[in-house]
Amino acid sequence: MAKVTANYEVVFIIDPAQGEEGVAALTEKFKTLVEQNASEVVVDDWGQRKLAYAINYITEGHYVLISFTSAPEFPKELDRILRITDGIIRSMIVCKDE
């Protein structure tokens, strides 16, 4: 039986109050997590940008986009981990195949 995979993109916004080292550490944490559970991983660091609207009084965030191919179970787990990680303001996972 063939393994079912799909192409996904995750964008997450890191609170710049984490500092440069904190931002780099969180980016690396999620890059490693995705690489361990997915293939064709591409990380695109968009850097610091102004948010469209303030989230918990935060007006800027550090944006990171990761594209990857994985089984459908992994994005659910990734979303759960992003939600409970301190320093992540917002995240969104999109399946590009739909």
> Residue 59: is its pLDDT beyond 70?
yes
Whether the Cβ atoms of residue 48 and residue 59 lie closer than 8 Å to each other: no
- Domains in the chain, CATH or no CATH each: 6-95 (3.30.70.60)
Give the chain's largest Cα–Cα span. Answer: 50
CA atoms within 13 A on the CB side of 98: 6
Percent of the chain at pLDDT > 90 equals: 91
Tokens of 24: 């780099």
Alpha helices in 1-98 (DSSP H): 19-37, 73-84
Burial of 52 (0-12, 13-18, 19+ CB in 10 A): exposed
pLDDT tens, 31-58? 999 999 999 999 999 999 999 999 999 9
